[in-house]
Each structure stands twice: as C-alpha cells, then as structure tokens.
C-alpha cells in the first residue's frame, strides 16, 4: 500500500512539483533509491528542508501528532501512508488513555513506529518495554488498569514471552487482536519451519540494515546456532559463506522486500552452480490495505492546477 501510494503520488506530480517524504517510506534501500530516481525527496524528519505548502508523504511506520501539527502550520499537503495495522495501535492507545488506562508498549526504542505511537500519549501514561526483563520492572500506577500494545514488527516468540508475563496480571488488558504484522508473522513461521523441518545449515535473509523485522529473522537462526547473513542485494553476497560444510541454505526476506528484488539472488546461486529448490509455498498474503484516496485526489487536483 505504501509503495503503491508513493508511486501514484509521484505519477500525479509528474515532476511539476517536488514530493517529499518525512523518512524512508519503507525500510528498504534499493526501493527507496528507485523512488528517489523518480523524484521522491527524503528529508529524514528535517522539516527545514521542506518549503511551506509542499507535498509530503508520511511513511508506513506512522508519525507522532507533532508531525500533523507541523503539516497544518506549514500548509503542507500530506499523503498519509501509515500502515493500517499501525494506525489501529495508535487509535487503541489514544482511546485507552482517554479512558484513564496506563499504556505498556512493547517496542524498540527509537524505531519510527514506536516514536509515532508513544508520541500520542502523555509520557506519564506510557512505559516502553523492549525485553522480558523490562516487563518485569514495570510499575503500574496505583488504582489504574494498564493496556498492553506492541510494535507490529517484533519477534513473535519474544513478544509472546512479554504477553504471557502480563497475562498473569489482572490489572493488564491485552486486546484480542494480535498486533504483529501478518507478513512478519508468516515470515517468522516460515523460518521456524526451515530450521526445524528442513534442517538448514545456513540462513540467508534479504533486507536493509535498518529493517527491524529482517534482523529478527536473522536472529532466529542465530539463536538456533545456525550461521546466517543479511544482504540488501547480490553485491553483498560472499561465496565463502557457502563452504563444503553447508549442504542446505534457507533463504527468506523482510516484509519490505519486493519480489523482484529477490530474483537476482536466485540467479546468483544459479551462476555459482547451485540450483534453488522451492521447498515451501507458504501461506498467501491476502490482507489488502486501502490507499488514502482522499489525500491522493487532493494531490492530483494540485497537479492539474500546476500544469
């Protein structure tokens, strides 16, 4: 959804005016480079680089309320491409605080998704937990009920530990719906299957350095004592990884990696005389997210006026 929305925004502007994004729309460097070639300008949350009245895309990770305030003050036309799973967490957190509840948020400090959600809540009403040890140190204010929410790209196994811990506390509410991104969850299940059922000797994960869900996949192999590596493109591949002791290599990718970026990896193996075998079909990604058509229509109308 975020990529489709960004490409539609760039197509609508057709170079008649610049299109900015507050940060990487998704955490994938090759795709962001492609979008930059098409005219997208990433300001890395430096609003001084954005002229008043400009078009700005909000990334899939979501943004804090202060960004919407800046947009209003600067008369920016925004295209909000926040993942709807993330938006859901924002809404639940806001409603919980309104009801007087304390928020426990499982996430990664400094991650844009975490920054966005925590920015919705007064600091005295929310605590960030990154590990089970953090969870054990949480002190819920006397006389209040807490609600547990999470970042959508965490490790399912690690999050379950935190959920299990708080599920024993009668003062902590856990929403019925699972906060983990379905694609992230499916990828983690697939890697678990590769490790346990197919007996891989090495795990190769494709994704950019700052992709949290990609790193979580690599860590799954690490925790099982299996050698692993993370690549962005085939430029990062090293033949030395696949020595004579490596019989079976598992390959997966992060949620932000388009299928077209993975085909060169298979071609690399073929050139090395290693024929890839598709052992797993996996579950289909059937969840579809709606584009912010109202935002995109405003942009198209601006383009007509500019032209």
Active site residue ranges: 113
Q: Which two tokens stand for residue 60?
A: 């899939």
Q: Where are the strands (E) in the chain, listed by range?
A: 19-21, 40-42, 55-58, 77-80, 102-106, 126-129, 146-150, 172-173, 202-206, 228-231, 249-253
In DSSP terms, 77 is beta-bridged to: 55
Closest CA to 141 of 101, 110, 180: 101
Q: Rounded to the nearest 5°, which phi and psi values hold at 258?
A: -70, 150
CA–CA dist 93, 62 (Å, integer): 14
The alpha-carbon radius of gyration of the chain (Å, integer) is 21
Is there a contact between 59 and 35 (Cβ–Cβ < 8 Å)?
no
Is there a contact between 172 and 144 (Cβ–Cβ < 8 Å)?
no
Is there a contact between 207 and 146 (Cβ–Cβ < 8 Å)?
no
Q: Sign of the C-alpha dihedral, residues 271, 273, 274, 278? A: positive
Q: Rounded to the nearest 5°, which phi and psi values hold at 161?
A: -60, -45
Closest CA to 103 of 113, 112, 90: 90
Please give the helix or strand (H or E) that residue 86 lies within, else none.
helix 84-98
* HSE toward the beta carbon, residue 58, CA cutoff 13 A: 29
In the sheet that 249-253 helps form, which strands lie side by side, from edge to edge?
A: 228-231, 202-206, 249-253
């Amino acid at each position: 959804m975020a990529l489709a929305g960004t490409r539609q925004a760039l197509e609508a502007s057709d170079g008649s005016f610049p299109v900015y994004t507050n940060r990487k729309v998704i955490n994938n460097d090759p795709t962001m480079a492609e979008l930059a070639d098409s005219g997208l300008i990433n300001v890395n949350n430096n609003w001084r680089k954005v002229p008043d009245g400009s078009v700005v895309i909000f990334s899939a990770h979501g943004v804090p309320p202060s960004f919407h305030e800046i947009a209003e003050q600067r008369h920016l036309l925004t295209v909000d491409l926040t993942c709807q799973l993330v938006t859901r967490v924002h809404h639940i957190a806001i409603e919980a605080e309104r009801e007087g509840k304390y928020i426990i948020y499982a996430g990664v400090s400094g991650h844009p998704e975490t920054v966005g959600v925590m920015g919705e809540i007064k600091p005295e009403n929310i605590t960030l937990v990154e590990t089970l040890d953090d969870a054990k140190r949480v002190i819920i204010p006397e006389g209040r009920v807490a609600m547990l929410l999470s970042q959508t790209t965490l490790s399912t196994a690690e999050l379950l530990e935190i959920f299990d811990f708080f599920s024993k506390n009668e003062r902590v509410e856990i929403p019925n719906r699972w906060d983990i991104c379905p694609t992230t969850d499916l990828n983690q299940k697939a890697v678990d299957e590769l490790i346990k059922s197919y007996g891989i000797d090495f795990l190769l994960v494709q994704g950019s350095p700052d992709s949290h869900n990609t790193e979580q996949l690599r860590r799954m192999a690490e925790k099982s004592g299996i050698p692993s590596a993370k690549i962005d493109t085939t430029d990062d591949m090293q033949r030395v990884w696949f020595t004579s002791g490596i019989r079976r290599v598992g390959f997966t990718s992060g949620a932000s990696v388009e299928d077209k970026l993975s085909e060169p990896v298979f071609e690399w193996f073929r050139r090395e005389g290693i024929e890839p075998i598709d052992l797993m079909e996996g579950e289909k990604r059937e969840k579809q997210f709606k584009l912010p058509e109202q935002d995109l229509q405003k942009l198209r109308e601006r383009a007509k006026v500019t032209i």
